[in-house]
Each structure stands twice: as C-alpha cells, then as structure tokens.
Amino acid sequence: MHPNIAPAEATFTPIHAISAAEWPAYLQGKSSVQAALAAHYDFKAQAGRVLLVPAPDGSLERVLFGLGTSQDAAVYGALPAKLPAGDYRIVSPLAREIGHGVLVAFLLGTYVFDRYKAKEPRAARLIPPVGADVEAASRTALAVKLGRDLVNTPPNDMGPDALEAVARALGEQHGAEIEVITGEALLAQNYPLIHAVGRGAVHAPRLVILRIGRPDAYPLALVGKGVTFDTGGLNLKPSAGMALMKKDMGGAACALALFSSLAEARLDVRLSVYLPIVENSMDGNSFRPSDVIRARNGLSVEIDNTDAEGRLILADAVHRASEDGNAMILDMATLTGAARVALGPELPPFFTEDEELASDLADAARQTGDHLWRMPLWRAYEDDLESPIADLKNSGGPFAGAINGALFISKFINHGDHKPIWAHFDVYCWNPKEKPGRPQGGEVHAVRAIETMLRKRFN
C-alpha cells in the first residue's frame, strides 16, 4: 500500500476544498482572524493554493484548498507539497465519481526524487475519499513512482546493465519467466538492428523479455524503447540536444511501470514485456550512415541517420513480439522531436489503425487526465522511407517526422498471416515544469491511460 494513504480511522486535519465562485459565501460568518489571514496571503481559492488555518493553541485547525474554476481532479496533486506532515481528510462534498481521481492525483503529488540530494519527504497522508479504489490508486501511484525514478536516474547509474537488473528484479518479484539475449548472442539469434545500434558502447546491447500469466490467456505485449543514453551516434547530437538524453529509455520505464501495475492487478492476460536496451554511443565499431542492415523480419534497412536509432531497436523487438503470437502489441518510445513540435511536451501522440482501441484509449485518457492525442498513420508518406538500395531507410526527411517514425515501426508488426492489434505511443517522458501531481523531471506519459484501458478490457 502507498505510504501516503492514511487509514480511515486516523485522527485527521480537515481539508476544505473551495472553488473561486464559492469563496465569498464560504468566508461569510467565518472569524475575523481567518478573513484577515486569507487577505494577508491573498487567498481567494485560486487553483492549487493552500491556506493553513491555525487553532488558538497554534496547532493546525484546518486547511483551505483552492480549486479556482477547475473541475479537474488533477488539481489535488498540488496538495502534498504544501502540507505539513500529518493525516488529512477532504471534508468538502466530493462527487463519488471523482473520488478515485482525487486520491490518484494526491498520491502522484507526493513524488520526490531524492536519490542524490537530501530532500524532505512529502509526509502528508490522505484518508481516501468516498468512491476511490484504494488498491488500484496505490498500484498506479507506485508504478508511476517506479517509472519516474528510472527516468530521473542519470545514465552512469542507469546504463544497460542497471536497467536489465531493474527488469530482472521486477520479473522475479512477480514470478515472471525471464529471457535475456546479450551482445553477440543478438546476432546469433537474429536481432541485428538491436545489436547494430548498441555495438559501439562499452555496455553490450541486449533484449530483455518478461512474461507472466496463464499460457492460454489473451496474449498482450508491451514493448519499450530502452536507449539508456543517446549521443546520436556518428550523427552526433549538439550539446543542447544531448542534455536530456538520459530519458531516452523512457519507453522502457513506461513498459516496466505498466508491468508492475498490471502484475499486481492480476489481469487475465498473458503479459509479455520486450525491452530492447542499448546505449547509442560511438567508437570505431559504431554503425554508420549508409550502412545497410537486414532486420529480423528480413527487410533491409539503409541507415540514413544514426540518431534515428529508437525505431531500429523497436523493429526487431516488435517483430519478436509478433512472432510470439501476441494479439495486441503496444509500443512506447521517446521517438521523435517532431511529436513535441506538433503537440508539445504534455500531449503524447498515439498511432493505431484499430478504431476500437483508439476509442478506448481516448476514453481512458479523458477519464484519467493522462492525456493522449490520436495522430494519423498516413500511408501516403511511406514513400519518404524509400531507399534506392534497400527495402527502406530509417529516416524520412524534414516533414511529418512522428508519422514517419510510426510508419517505419509498422513495417515490422506483422509476422506472416499474424496481424496483431497495434498502437505506437511517441512519449516525451519529461515534465519541463512542475504542475499539480507532475513534478519537474522524469515522467511516464500514457501509463495511466493505457493501464485504465487494459483494466477495462481484461479485469
């Protein structure tokens, strides 16, 4: 259970959640001290603002929490950072249908990354509101914490060896089957693209596979891009472009966060996670622009840009997932800057040709506030991937970069007559600035929406 959930019988300090419209009426009849305190701190129930109201003996009597004009449960994510240690209950009427979202938002707001710098823990605990699924909220928040920790950890402590170790530990915790293919074994077992991208680094490339669930249950695959640091390879990134590249394993962090939550929830699926893990670095053995490499599925790929490496390692991984007979494949990757140019850092695009899946994901995104936006898998742009000497190239020119990345991956999804349901998520995995429940730094975008969609389908 999440440590910031208080038991129902705990002695608590009340939290009064007040909208801006309700504020004048709320203030009527209150003590002059409380009115003066609100005036002094310019508290008018603005969204995310907190006013701590003391009792005559100096202890904390109540908390006033501003909702502003927001109807969104996410605003409650601002509370934990502004409350002293203690147990709290929201005593204002809450619609039952938002109680779960309020608890999740509060728990997400308790996150602090303190591995390298001493920070005060956010020790406020909340008694769950009516309507909250406490176990589900705890699973979600702990899974997000795991993913954020992985993204925030610097590459000297989260290289290929370390990321594999995290995956192994998580798999062992849940009794998963674990398969790891490393270094030259990738060539022997036909994962040439994963090997090519990672062969220039000190730490060997690898493919990690976790599998749990009944063999005859619905086969579901999560595939996460695990580039633990991306220099760009021989097409070297500029310094500014390299600054956040510790987060280029964010897709793997998303997949592991989902694995953690779904394994705890015991969904009736045969869940497999595929993590192609590499560092895109440089030495005399690095793969080069103009190299042609034959992928696992037999297609030849001309390397147009070594900094378009994520789609290469995903290609071998998603094809293995298809070979294994998975009926649904969801891949997550910090794939393109073009996705950020189009939609910004907070709104990840997803691509799918399955209308039911697209609808379910859109519903789950609205329900959770973990926003997603469907983008077109525009087949007319496939000619951007044409190569004069190979079946395709790995980079599609200056336009429609996010679409071209998704189109490239789509070439490796089907295995013979097996055509799984597929969606690709081009996630950013970073919060440039702090917002309620979303501290600055590592993030696992799309995890809560995907989790909610899968729980609805398979619970």
Write out the catalytic residue numbers.
237, 311
Distance of CA 175 to the CA centre of its chain: 23
* Structure token pair of residue 417: 């007559």
Q: How far is CA 97 from CA 70, 88, 131, 132, in A?
A: 16, 20, 6, 8
Query: Which residue is associated with the tokens 């920790």?
Result: 149
The amino acid at residue 132 is A
Q: Which two tokens stand for residue 4?
A: 């910031």
How far apart CA 259 and CA 222 sit, in angstroms, is 8
Distance CA 226, CA 244 (A): 14
Two tokens, residue 457: 């389908």
Contact 25, 58 (CB under 8 A): no
Measured at the CA of 343, the angle between CA 339 and CA 348, to 5 degrees, comes to 65
Report whether 403 contacts 375 (CB < 8 A): yes
Q: Which of 223, 419, 182 lies closest to 313 in space, CA to CA?
A: 223
Q: Comparing C-alpha atoms, which of 58, 60, 102 is closest to residue 77? A: 102
